[in-house]
Amino acid sequence: MNGKAQKSHAKVNISKNRLYITIAGKLSKENLDKLYTDIRFCVSDLKPSFDFINDISGCTLASLSGIPTFKKITNYLIANRVGRVVRVINERRIIVRQILNCGAKIEGYRAIYVNNLDEAEYELEESLPEDGLRFYLQAQSVKYKRGEAQGKWYILDISTSGCLIKPSHVVFLTLHRPLA
């Protein structure tokens, strides 16, 4: 490391309609509060269904007192119609498991997990945006019966153009590489 303290920050790329948030170093409630202010200024420059890259690969520690602000940030992004979400992680950090657990319980968006910023950019450039506003759900099950076959599936997201479902016996995480 070069001796400089790592900072968390938010920035936008207006031409790509993309929000970038980097969370680095030790994350305190005060740092999250400042980041929330930055995010609000950035999102005001973006159109609905903006893409979001969240780089947490440099985050080493997070304070529990920041959880309400983390939820406030998440709710703000959802309320402002965030589109595709890609999260850059460092699989060796404990904080990743904490964020995965916290993020998995949030209805409103689902993140794709990658290992670096280049992969995040590639994921957004090469994947097609889903048409229509999508609502991401947690543990919403439906029963089905077709002929003799029957079972339970989970609705992962739903929109006016369709839905994404999975069988109850399949473990589903939007990961491109399994976590170690």
Extents of the domains making up the chain: 9-131
Query: What is the predicted pLDDT for the residue at 153?
Result: 77
- Phi-psi category of residue 103: left, alpha or beta, with phi > 0 → left and psi -120 to 50 → alpha: alpha
| Cut 0.75: pTM above it | no
Averaged pLDDT score across all residues of the chain: 78
CATH topology of domain 9-131: Transcription Regulator spoIIAA (3.30.750)
Query: What is the predicted pLDDT for the residue at 71?
Result: 85
pLDDT tens digits, 142-177:
787 778 888 887 777 676 666 766 666 554 444 444
Report the Cα 171 to chain-centroid distance in Å. Answer: 18
pLDDT tens digits, 97-110:
777 666 666 666 67
